[in-house]
Structure 1
Amino acid sequence: FNVSANGLLAADAGAFHRGKPSSDPYAVFLLDNQKEKTKVVSKNLDPVWDDTITLQVPANGTSQLLVRVFDHDKLGHHDPLGEYVLDLPKTNTSTTVSGALRNQPKQKKHATGKINFSYSIAYGGTAPAPHRASIASSADAEGGMLSESVSSATGKLIITALSAQGLRAADKKLFGQDSSDPYCKISVSSASGVEETQTEIIHKTLNPDWGKNFKKALEVDVWDPQSTVTFTVWDHDNVSKDDYLGEYSFSPGVQSKGKGSFTAELKNVQGTSKAVRGHLQCEYIYRAPEEDGLGKLTKKDI
């Protein structure tokens, strides 16, 4: 893994902090019983960690990688800055990922920013060379800098409303009603890599309306006109691996732009033993990639 982040939460701020609000971030990679962490980058909300992380992936290919980011504190508690969950593919892979950070369990301040990394997996052999160079620049477009993967993203998918109904109850209760703590991960996949974002977790419901909690619409960059958009619903678990609740995929199209919507049945694409139930409803705005530079949504498109 070659790792960077951008737009992190400033943990070092307030009346007793001198200077510009910032953090001293480091990242922890957790896979099964393995734990590896990067070095600390001082006073930086857009860190680039030069560390190389190596973990053993189980042969069954069913693991989830958990990445947690913390602010290092020499004297007190290391403040959580957010976390990201990646479902590792079951085949040899070499690609890049950029995903929004969500709150860690019991995290008080709202997580901001993204975690970015390129990785390779080889099951019993050597993984292919990455499609893209490792992400080395983490400033965003407004700052005038783009990493290689972001600079080639020429389209945009904006999720304005998202909800689900009739999900499976993953949390069985001895007393009380069975329920789930669902969140939805949105990924745009192409030969160039994967761009991801996700909703917040809504606790104890089978009918989540994530759109009600949107402080702003969710945005995902689109690199390739042939990209596939996948909505995957998960039940969050503080103790064990998050439970798969189903997914839906579609291709928005080469010429598409403007508003769109769908109501779709969730599918058990991963072939899990537990049943998948429920429907997903989404409203979005889409601008297909253009050849002459970054596609930008205008009032005319909306």
Structure 2
Amino acid sequence: MPALHSSPNSSHPFTTTLPVTDYSTTTHTNSTLNPAANFVNDVLNKIPLPRWAIYAIFAVGALLILICCLCICCKCCCKGNKKKRQKKNEKINLNEVNGKTTTALVQPDVADVGYGSTKQHRGKLLYSLDYNGAQSELTVGIKQADGLKSMDLGGSSDPYVKVYTCPEKSKIFETKVFRHTLNPAFNERFSFQISKSSLLKSTVVMQIFDFNRFSKHNIIGELRVELCNVDWNHVMEEWQDLAEPAKFEEENLGDICFSLRYVPTASKLTLVVLEAKGLKSMDTGGSSDPYVKVQLALDKRKWKKRKTSIKKKTLNPYYNESFTFDVSFDQIQRVHLVISVWDHDAVSRNDAMGKIFLGCDASGNQLRHWADMLSNPRRPVAQWHSLLSAEQVNSTLTLKRKIPLQSKRPF
């Protein structure tokens, strides 16, 4: 029997030496079992940042994604709750209906009248009508307005009223402008000469506009009163809601913008014709060749005249042409400035497209522009004006053809 030899380092006589196992192959085998982890480690090792910074970036990204998901969920929940509330409010409570009549289902309450209506609130106007048969005179009183629609950005308007009769429409009157108010008190009266036979065929039109110096005036609303339905045994005075303006009657002839400046010390009146827009087409091709004629009248007699260049084939001409007249301070009180737009025709006669006049006895926007010029000497004052028909202006301003001779002039 062979003898057992113990290791000199062993403390037990029966301890034997076991063979050493190589674990390198085992480690290699385990690493091949998880290739995804190795791929992630390789990618992280290639990023030139510390490992803690990479983990922080991943955490922040995950937190942002989570917050976005929560916001989307909250928004969807709010929409669902809103729809449920709307459906709940739309339910009709039939418990209080006694079943004896269906009026409760179809007849609205007084407070609910107009609910859901598409009619736009424009305000109301207090006016009066009176007719003097002996003098054939119709008097229209514009008292006040209340709750007008705001047309400006500040939630207000600059209202004024335009009054005329149709179908004649021989005269158009305008009240003064009230600044920054929705409840103006006009208290103005206007008279029209109209016969009894024409009275029952006429209609009084009262239109409220929002004044704008550098743009077209916006209409707020209007009233149309057929005079055949009025009881003329007493003065009529009533409040009435403004309605949407009618589009069938008034023909739009376009607008013109010009500036005025008067220098009393130099006796110079300067007119600058700037531009026009929305002119009426006069040619077969749907266009026009417009030019502007400027006429100065003294004591309603034609005095001086100028005209701009012709702009070919346009309804929105731009001129920027200046004209200067010698007008003394004494004459400026008796002067009328007539501005008309014409369509140039090379073969036939030129056609009038629109006309206005300014002066101390003008009305409406024309009078305001003239008064602003006189109250601001040496400063140009620009303003847009709506063109009127030549017949309407000619009937209001009857000009004589020639000015008196130099020896007969009153100046």
Larger RCO of the pair (alpha carbons < 8 Å, separation 6+): 1
- Whether these two folds match at TM > 0.5 is no
**Which TM-score applies when normalising by structure 1?**
0.34
Give 1 or 2: higher strand fraction.
1
Give 1 or 2: higher helix fraction.
2
